[in-house]
């Protein structure tokens, strides 16, 4: 819902699992960097000038990730479309293995367009549900870089007590504590050395701690005072670990994220299909799994709900302010008809120019409502002032439209002249204002025609019904009926 405003400089984040060595991180950073240099040379050669499109590149590599900062030159800002530049760069990077590359190149940019939260008590259920959801989400055209938040870490050793050990009274806590003391160490003494406190730890020698076979032979003290080998008391399993586990309400949570190509798919449409169809399919296959949309989408829905509530309150206030001086419950509705017509005009304008609706677009639509209602109010005020004459309603409406046409047209032209510089602005810093000014301009234009055409027609219909129900009209109709000669009865 936010407009896409690109920046002159942006950041590229590279992440790898915790188990990846530094050499793999350095190789992936070099791969991304070389793809950038290849694209830069192609663009510089195509432009045929001495000024490069890139003025600065800085690469930082750490243990399990890297970052690359990039700044476009003045020539690059004028000649490059940043989104296309990022797509070409991503294409030249190629296979990134188990790494993850994020391009942050928009104001307020979120690296991923779709974010879903999946939780379950059982790890197997969570993993299977995540795979099913990723499979169905990946079937949408335009969806790419589909990942989840399960970050593989270093291998772990799992211990599970055998029934024989439980019969001997040994508990998992006691077993884990003794294994920890043997490999990490057990504190036996503390003393001060100057101002520092020194801990004395006792553990097995290094050669003992480097072999899994030695782990099986580690002596474990039983509650009865005897010792037994660890391999006789517990099953030892080597399994992959996780560098980070997220939990919510004591359930493990997986975050599934994906990017969307805006030229091939619409994010809101995909979210609608997910919530109406795919979520139900996943819940039927895995009833124990819980699904919900990500925080960013939740904030957007809450903001839209607040916009809707506040708009309704504003329209009700406008209705009351008009109903009091006009002493009518129906006439204020005529004025408010211009507001939804203006909204339709703003939506059509966005569709015509190929811009998606954003929060700034909704702000412009709501702001246009007050102006178009004011146009209708100016027209109806003339009718109210001259409504005491004996002129027919049609003649009165015609005079009102002719008399108020110029101020209504001038109100639109002056506002549009003020919005025109923003509409024609091409700098990236002003792009987020274009949806709002487009909504205002289109809303005022369509609202002007609604005030001059729709409002008079509705008023004429309402006035005609009111005139037909007045006592004078009823009396005239009764006299006419009495004056009619009686029809002869057939014999």
DSSP assignment of 71-138 equals: EE-HHHHHH--HHHHHHHHHHHH---TT-EEEEEEETT--S-SEEEEEEESSHHHHHHHHHHHHHHHH
What CATH number did the domain enclosing 434 receive? 1.20.1640.10
Residue 483 included in any domain: no
Residue 489 included in any domain: no
Residue 486 included in any domain: no
CA neighbours closer than 13 Å in the CB half-sphere of residue 80: 29
Verify that 306 and 375 share a domain, yes or no.
yes
Residue 106: per-residue pLDDT? 63
Residue 340 included in any domain: yes
Question: And the tokens for 359?
Answer: 């929060």
Q: Yes or no: say if 170 and 223 are a contact pair by the CB < 8 Å rule.
A: yes
Residues of the chain with pLDDT under 70: 1-8, 47-50, 106-111, 152-153, 387-389, 427-429, 464-491
Verify that 286 and 372 share a domain, yes or no.
no
Would you call 120 exposed, middle or buried from its count of C-beta atoms within 10 A (0-12, 13-18, 19+)? buried
Q: Which of 277, 293, 309 is the last residue of a domain?
A: 293
Verify that 252 and 383 share a domain, yes or no.
no
Verify that 107 and 118 share a domain, yes or no.
no
Verify that 466 and 379 share a domain, yes or no.
yes
What CATH number did the domain enclosing 138 receive? 3.30.2090.10
Verify that 208 and 129 share a domain, yes or no.
yes
CA neighbours closer than 13 Å in the CB half-sphere of residue 65: 12
Distance CA 83, CA 359 (A): 21
Residue 332: per-residue pLDDT? 81
Residue 111: per-residue pLDDT? 67
Q: Yes or no: say if 10 and 70 are a contact pair by the CB < 8 Å rule.
A: yes
Residue 201: per-residue pLDDT? 93
Verify that 1 and 78 share a domain, yes or no.
yes
Q: Which of 293, 317, 338 is the last residue of a domain?
A: 293
Verify that 122 and 93 share a domain, yes or no.
no
Residue 472: per-residue pLDDT? 38
Residue 336: per-residue pLDDT? 83
Provide the 8-state DSSP code for 264. Answer: T
Q: Yes or no: say if 396 and 389 are a contact pair by the CB < 8 Å rule.
A: yes
Q: Yes or no: say if 287 and 128 are a contact pair by the CB < 8 Å rule.
A: no
Verify that 180 and 325 share a domain, yes or no.
no
Verify that 92 and 130 share a domain, yes or no.
no
Least Cα distance to 291 among 301, 276, 303, 306 occurs for: 276
Evaluate if pTM is beyond 0.75.
Answer: no
Residue 487 included in any domain: no
Long-range pairs for 461-468: beta carbons < 8 A, 24 or more residues apart: 462/330, 462/331, 462/334, 463/393, 464/393, 467/393
Long-range pairs for 140-143: beta carbons < 8 A, 24 or more residues apart: 140/265, 140/270, 140/273, 141/264, 141/265, 142/260, 142/261, 142/262, 142/263, 142/264, 142/265, 143/114, 143/258, 143/259, 143/260, 143/261, 143/265, 143/270
The CA-based angle 398-344-419, given to 5 degrees, is 85
- Domain holding 274, by residue range, is 112-293
261-290: buried (b, 16+ CB within 10 Å) or exposed (e) per residue?
eeeeeebeebbeebeeebbeebeeebeebb
- Could you give the 3-state DSSP secondary structure of residue 367? helix
Verify that 117 and 103 share a domain, yes or no.
no
Residue 477: per-residue pLDDT? 41
Query: In terms of residues, how long is the chain?
Result: 491
Least Cα distance to 347 among 362, 369, 337 occurs for: 362
Q: Which of 111, 144, 172 is the last residue of a domain?
A: 111
Verify that 223 and 137 share a domain, yes or no.
yes
Sheet holding 6-15, edge to edge: 54-62, 65-72, 6-15, 100-106
The CA-based angle 171-174-180, given to 5 degrees, is 140
Q: pLDDT tens digits for 59-77?
A: 899 888 898 888 888 777 7
């Amino acid at each position: 819902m936010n407009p896409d405003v690109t920046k002159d400089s942006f950041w590229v984040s590279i992440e790898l699992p915790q188990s990846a060595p530094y050499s793999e991180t350095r190789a992936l950073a070099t791969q991304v960097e070389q793809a950038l240099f290849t694209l830069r040379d192609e663009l510089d050669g195509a432009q045929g000038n001495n000024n490069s499109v890139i003025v600065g590149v800085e690469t930082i590599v750490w243990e399990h990730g890297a970052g690359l900062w990039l700044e476009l030159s003045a020539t690059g800002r004028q000649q490059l479309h940043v989104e296309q530049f990022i797509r070409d760069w991503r294409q030249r990077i190629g296979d990134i293995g188990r790494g993850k590359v994020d391009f942050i190149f928009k104001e307020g940019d979120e690296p991923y367009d779709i974010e879903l939260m999946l939780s379950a008590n059982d790890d197997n259920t969570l993993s299977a549900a995540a795979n099913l959801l990723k499979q169905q989400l990946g079937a949408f055209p335009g969806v790419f870089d589909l990942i989840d938040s399960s970050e593989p870490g270093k291998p772990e050793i799992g211990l599970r007590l055998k029934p024989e050990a439980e019969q001997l009274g040994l508990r998992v806590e006691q077993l884990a504590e003794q294994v920890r003391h043997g490999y990490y160490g057990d504190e036996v003494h503390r003393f001060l050395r100057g101002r520092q406190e020194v801990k004395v730890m006792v553990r097995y020698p290094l050669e003992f701690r480097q072999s899994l076979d030695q782990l099986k032979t580690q002596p474990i003290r039983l509650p009865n005072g005897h010792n037994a080998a660890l391999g006789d008391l517990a099953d030892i399993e080597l399994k992959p670990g996780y560098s980070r586990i997220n939990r919510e309400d004591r359930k493990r949570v997986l975050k599934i994220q994906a990017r969307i190509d805006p030229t091939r798919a619409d994010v809101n449409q995909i979210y609608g299909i997910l919530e109406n169809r795919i979520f139900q399919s996943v819940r039927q296959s895995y009833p124990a799994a819980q699904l919900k949309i990500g925080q960013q989408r939740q904030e957007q829905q809450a903001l839209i709900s607040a916009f809707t509530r506040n708009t309704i309150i504003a329209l009700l206030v406008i209705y009351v302010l008009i109903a009091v001086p006009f002493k009518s419950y129906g006439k204020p509705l005529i004025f408010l008809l211009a507001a939804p017509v203006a909204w339709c005009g703003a939506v059509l304008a966005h569709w015509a120019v190929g811009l998606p609706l954003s929060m700034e677009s909704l702000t412009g639509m709501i702001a246009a409502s007050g102006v178009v209602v004011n146009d209708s109010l100016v027209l109806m005020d003339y009718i109210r002032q001259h409504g005491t004459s004996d002129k027919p309603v049609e003649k009165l409406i015609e005079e009102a439209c002719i008399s108020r046409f110029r101020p209504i047209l001038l109100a639109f032209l002056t506002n549009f002249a003020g919005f025109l510089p923003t509409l024609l602005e091409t700098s990236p810093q002003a792009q987020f204002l274009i949806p709002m000014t487009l909504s205002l301009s289109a809303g005022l234009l369509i609202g002007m025609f609604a005030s001059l055409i729709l409002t008079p027609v509705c008023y004429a219909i309402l006035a005609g019904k009111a005139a037909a129900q007045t006592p004078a009209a009823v009396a005239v109709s009764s006299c006419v009926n009495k004056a009619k000669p009686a029809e002869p009865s057939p014999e």
